Amino acid sequence: MTIPRVPRRGERVRVSDHEGMFIVVRVDKVGRVGKLERWANPGDVLWDVPFGAIHLIREGVSGAA
């Protein structure tokens, strides 16, 4: 089993079982959870999201080979 990467504040991410893009607002390395805010609606907050459910959105990745 691989250990999920630790997200960083300010990163744009996706969350398993949620639609849309989120921004990492707070990271709890001990509890291995993060607080995320929806990009399109900053009042919409997800609390205590496990690192394993947080997926980094990579910038500048092209599908062209």
Q: Which helix (H) or strand (E) holds 36?
A: strand 33-38
| pTM across the whole model | 0.82
62 within some domain: no
65 within some domain: no
1 within some domain: no
Spatial separation of the C-alpha atoms in residues 53 and 13, rounded to whole Å: 10
* Torsion angles phi and psi, residue 38, rounded to 5: -65, 135
Number of domains into which the chain is organized: 1
The pLDDT value given to residue 3: 73
Mean local confidence (pLDDT), 21-46: 95
Which tokens in the block code for residue 15? 């969350």
Residue 50, classed as helix, strand or coil, is strand
Closest CA to 38 of 57, 56, 55, 13: 13
Q: For residue 29, give its domain range.
A: 12-56
The pLDDT value given to residue 36: 98
